[in-house]
Structures are given as structure tokens and as C-alpha cells.
Amino acid sequence: MFVKCFGHPPRWKAAAPGRVNLIGEHTDYNEGFVLPMAIDRYTILAGDRNTKREVTLHSVTTGETANFSVRAPVQPGQPSWSNYVRGVVAGFQERGFKVSGFDAIIDSTVPFGGGVSSSAALEVATATLLEALTGQKLDPIEKALLCQKAEHAFAGVPCGIMDQFTSVLAQQDHALLLDCRSRKATPVRMTDSAITVLIINSNVRHKLVDGVYASRRKQCEEAARILKVTALRDATLPDLEAARAALDPVVFRRARHVITENERTLQAARFIQAGDWPKVGELMYASHASLRDDYQVSCLELDTIVDCAQSLGEPGGVIGCRMTGAGFGGCAVSLVRTSAVQTIGRKIQESYEHKTGTMPTIFSSRPGGGARMVKP
Ligand code: GLA
């Protein structure tokens, strides 16, 4: 494809994965804990320098081409997907790195807009390509922060650090327990071949999602202020109970989700390490219930998937299931017995289609590795 568009083979190829979060939802921007893993699906940028001081991007997925100049600080523009690349180029420029013009083809096996961080994968693949192009290798944490800023400033999404972190730092065969305050990542081994991670895409994305995300962040900040803590990471359930009268009842429930979710995430990491799968499953269901009832970011479609998985339960080979990502559509994640993967997939699909009239997309993934250069 690169040859077809630009007349010669690419010099570099950078790959960055999407992610699925096993547990620890809406905790990253509260300086808490998350437990994601990279999926073995990647966004790939094949590229080479040009002599024009201009960037030309061609997206295989959308069939569109984007052009922008690097003579001046890069600004947001059209088409909208180009903003993930523009934002990362701007981040390199801001650090004083000279970004020359380049041509690139973008291709991806990360489902777009499906809650598995296709945007972070594009940002991190761009940053990885730019490291080769500029000869400036970034510290991995700085790289993730640069990509997060691109998402804030160029896509207008006030996301936490989980997605970009995972796409940069993920390790093959491991989930990562990330402390979003200290930014320390602890690998949690996931090599038990009897257990499979199943990702169920609801194939719906309710429009609410961006506005609600920003408003949940504000409610968390309000709770932290009233509780007199730096972030909800620092609060305990007794602290929250003691402040009940001072808190709006809705804000109280938002905070309760974050506080209990942090605890569940730390416990889940321990139970995965110990191979205690039933306990991991209980925590996943509890996480979903808390996101549905206290944080209120689930939706009928995600609840339908989780209910179906839960009704199959241990006897049907399901260990646990929950919504994953920001919510209001996107994906659910389930841990299942490998021996029952096919049957579970079929049953969830039938029941979901029957109840919602929409077909889900279901795939499994081993924990994949983080962003890297691959052979062009
Ligand atoms: C989105 C954001 C993440 C995180 C999740 C919710 O994926 O990009 O930073 O906040 O939602 O856990």
C-alpha cells in the first residue's frame, strides 16, 4: 500500500496495541489503580521522510488522506482521525524536536471506536514512528504522557493515563497493575492456557459518552475536595461515610465506586497471581454492578452481555464478566474457561442479538506486547 501511494517502500514501520481493562474502571484520573493488558491487535504506521515539510497520511481503514504542514506548530484539523497524529507531532515539536515532513500509511486491526483504545494505539504508533524519524527516544512514561496530552488537546477528551500507558508499556503474557499516581507498572503474569480473555463488543456507542466522562471527572474532584484529599485514591470508605451529610447523594455514590474499585483492583491482581479465578470473577461482577449502579456508566447492551455471561456462570465455563473502558457501549470483558470459549461465544451472541437486535463482535486475546518497531 505504501509503495502504491508513495512510489517506494517505507523506511519504518511502528506498531502499537489496543488494550482491554480487566478491572479498575474510572480510577485512573483519581490517581488510583488499573489492571489492563494490551490486546494482540495493533495499529501500524508505515512511513518515511519526505522533502516537503508536510505530512501526508493515508488511512487504509477510512480510505481518506490527510495533509498538514510542519513548518509551524501543528494545529487541530480535518479529518478528525488525523488529530491523534497531529497532536503527537505537536508534542514532539513542543519538546523542541525537529519533525521533518513525512508520508505514512495507517492500518489497524484494533476495532475503531469500540472501547479498546484505537485512539491511544494510533497516538502511540505515531510517537513510536516519530522516535525513529527524529532519532529522539522518549522515556516510556513521558511518551505515554505526550500521547495523553494529544488526546486532551487535539481530540478534546479529558482521558486518564491508562490507555496510552498500556499501549506503551504492555508486556507479552502479562496484565499490568498500574499505580496511576506513582506511574509504577507491576506486571501480573497471565499464562494459564486454561483461561481465555474474551472481549465482547456491543457494537453500540451512545452519544452520551464524552459529556458524561467529563462530568464524572468533575464529580470525583468535588468529592475529593469535600473529603479534603488530593484525589479519591486517598479516601477510605469510613472517610466517605463520615462525610455523607456534606456530600450530594449522587457524588457520594460516584466516590463510593472509585474507592471500592481501587480496592477490588488491588485484590484482583493478587488473586490472578495466586490463580484464584473464582475470586477474580466475583470482583469482576462486583465491579460491573458498581459501574452500573453507583457510577452509572453502563447501558442496557452492556448489562445484557454481563447478565448473560453471569447466568452461564461457573458451570458454563464463565469466570467473570464486566463492562470495560469508559462505558455507554463499547466492550465487555470476560474471563472464561478455554475449553468452553466456542459455546460461551455462541450463547452470548444469540442472547444479545435476541434482546437488543444488534450483532455483537466477539474475539479473544492473549496479553500482547507494547509498542515497537517492526520490520518494514
Ligand atoms: C477511557 C479513558 C481512560 C479511563 C477509562 C475508564 O478509556 O481513556 O483513561 O479513564 O475510560 O476507566
Three-state SS annotation for 296-365: CCCCHHHHHHHHHHHHHCHHHCEEEEEEECCCCEEEEEEEEEHHHHHHHHHHHHHHHHHHHCCCCEEEEE
C-alpha to C-alpha distance for 349 and 352, rounded to whole angstroms: 5
Residue 112's pLDDT band (cuts 50, 70, 90): confident
C-alpha to C-alpha distance for 214 and 270, rounded to whole angstroms: 31
Please report the pLDDT score of residue 207 as a whole number. 79
* Substitution candidate for ligand 1 out of 163, 218, 220, 265 with most atoms within 8 A of CB: 163
Which atom, in ligand 1's list, is nearest to the CA of 326? 11
28 Cβ closer than 6 Å to some ligand 1 atom: yes
Q: Region 198-219: what's the mean pLDDT?
A: 91
Which atom, in ligand 1's list, is nearest to the CA of 157? 8
Active site residue 163: yes
Residue 36: closest CA among 291, 261, 325, 242: 325
C-alpha to C-alpha distance for 124 and 167, rounded to whole angstroms: 7
pLDDT of 209 higher than 80: no
Please report the pLDDT score of residue 13 as a whole number. 98
- Model-level pTM? 0.97
C-alpha to C-alpha distance for 326 and 213, rounded to whole angstroms: 7
Report the range of poorest mean pLDDT among 89-98, 112-121, 351-360. Answer: 112-121
Q: Region 300-314: what's the mean pLDDT?
A: 98
Catalytic residue among 28, 103, 107, 163: 163
C-alpha of residue 227 to centroid of ligand 1, in Å = 23
Residue 138's pLDDT band (cuts 50, 70, 90): very high
> Do residues 93 and 101 make contact, with C-beta atoms less than 8 angstroms apart?
no
Closest residue (by CA) to atom 11 of ligand 1? 326
C-alpha of residue 346 to centroid of ligand 1, in Å = 29
C-alpha of residue 326 to centroid of ligand 1, in Å = 5
> Do residues 362 and 345 make contact, with C-beta atoms less than 8 angstroms apart?
yes
Residue 139's pLDDT band (cuts 50, 70, 90): very high
Closest residue (by CA) to atom 1 of ligand 1? 326
Parallel/antiparallel/unpaired status of strands 102-108 and 54-59? parallel
Mean pLDDT of the chain: 97
- Give me the phi and psi of 57, to 5 degrees please: -120, 135
